Structure 1
Amino acid sequence: MAVVEKKKATKRVPKELVYEMRHGSPIYYRDYDKVLSGKKKPEEVMGSSDLQAWMIDTIVRFLHLTLDYKKYKVLSNEVGYKFARRSWYNLDIAVVDRTKIKKLTGRFLEISPEVVIEIDTKADLRKFENPQDYFHRKTQDLLDSGVKKVIWIFTKEKKVWLAEKGKRWFITDWSDTVDLLDKTKLNIQKLLEEEGIKIEEER
């Protein structure tokens, strides 16, 4: 008698839980499976932490004060950036050359930003061999698409990873000052100290 194997039912992941898309392959929000099982609500995995939101606001305000506003536009709030066919990334902060934007479409950004700044990630990294694979692939994709500089800020490690096309990538402490764009330089620790905010150490 033939044994009929029952196929394991798989839950379809709602599109709202897709964080990014790379060549047709979805990258989900971290802990998306807990939403599917009812342990968490969608907003719990999609929302930013207080630290991430604070840092983004602080950096954006700094950029508005230091960059030539007639030359650059600073976009934030997880800007959707279409970098290839069936591919898009969410960007925490994107500095765009105003002359490249002829009109606003109401869809994902398709103009390559000059600089992208990312603070941690909401992506589920379990599908990657190690977390560095995700950060490396996203960084390389952005550079290959025309982005001139990608800066990652890792809050747990208090490190800054800077990648520039055609140059050596490097990781440094966020107390160091790094070149951002034109003559603008970025020092994360200094910005936070000026804010007078205390960062609780992770237990």
Structure 2
Amino acid sequence: MLVLENRRKKNTKIASYLVFEEIDGFALPYKGYKEVILGNKTPDDIMGSSALQAVLVSLIHGYLFSQIDRKNYILATNESGLHINKGTNLSNDIAIFRKLRHPIKDQYFDVAPIIAIEVDTKVDLSDTPYHTDTDYIISKSKKLLDFGAEKVVWVLTKEKKIVISALEGPWTIVDFDHDILIMEDCILNLHKLMLKEDIVF
């Protein structure tokens, strides 16, 4: 059971443009936001993805685009916003949704993705209820699953591991060379995909 210490009732003093996500009313700012407050960096310095994150997200997205049934599913990327409820607004590196039967709005998604895929973490946890990245990953994954996602996949580049959480069955941690069933008829092997594209890190 994950127990979170209430370090602050709400960290509402953080400027909204420095906030990456919000969970249960707690603002989760970008890593490096304190350097912006101190004047050592600009917001643009901290909001972009690293080269590694950007390449992996692009690689995975491109692969999935060629594999999924695009008549029935749609891919979203670019840290697409997801509104779950008041006080909980998330961001996804890659999300697969069932195709909507009504026009797409110029707002956050308000329906759960079938699959959410994340590459690393981008938040500063120092003034939040989360002590570690693991706490945050578990909490965000659970929020997504409780909202209706069927599977959440986290790619952790430092550890070269992939965390897979699903509505049914145990959560698992595997190496990059493991075959991962994303959805029916769609298997991702990140190691093989990187080799094919001559990507090393």
> What's the TM-score once normalised by structure 2's chain length?
0.90
* Structure 2 residue ranges without an equivalent (≥5): 1-11
Aligned to 1:130: 132
* Structure 1 residue 46 corresponds to structure 2 residue 47: yes
Q: Which amino acid in 2 is paired with 1:39?
A: N
Secondary structure (helix, strand or coil) at the match of 2:66 reads: helix
C-alpha displacement of 1:71: 1.0
Secondary structure (helix, strand or coil) at the match of 1:70 reads: coil
Aligned to 2:197: 195
Aligned to 2:61: 60
C-alpha displacement of 1:35: 0.5
Q: Using the alignment, how far apart are the partners of 1:193 and 1:125 within structure 2?
A: 33
Deviation per CA, 1:26-52, whole angstroms, max 9, x where unpaired?
111111111000111111111001111
Aligned 1:137-152 pairs, distance under 5 A: 137-152=139-154
Structure number, greater radius of gyration: 1
Secondary structure (helix, strand or coil) at the match of 1:78 reads: strand
Secondary structure (helix, strand or coil) at the match of 2:61 reads: helix
Aligned to 1:4: none
> What's the TM-score once normalised by structure 1's chain length?
0.89
Identify the structure with bigger relative contact order (alpha carbons < 8 Å, sequence gap 6+). 2
Q: Using the alignment, how far apart are the partners of 1:46 and 1:101 within structure 2?
A: 33
* Structure 1 residue ranges without an equivalent (≥5): 1-10
* Structure 1 residue 34 corresponds to structure 2 residue 63: no
Question: What fraction of aligned residue pairs are identical, expressed as a percent?
Answer: 32
C-alpha displacement of 1:14: 1.9
Root-mean-square deviation over aligned CA pairs: 1.3
Q: Using the alignment, how far apart are the partners of 2:101 and 2:149 within structure 1?
A: 15
Q: Which amino acid in 1 is paired with 2:155?
A: I
C-alpha displacement of 1:101: 4.4
**Conserved? CA contact 1:101–1:111, under 8 Å:** no
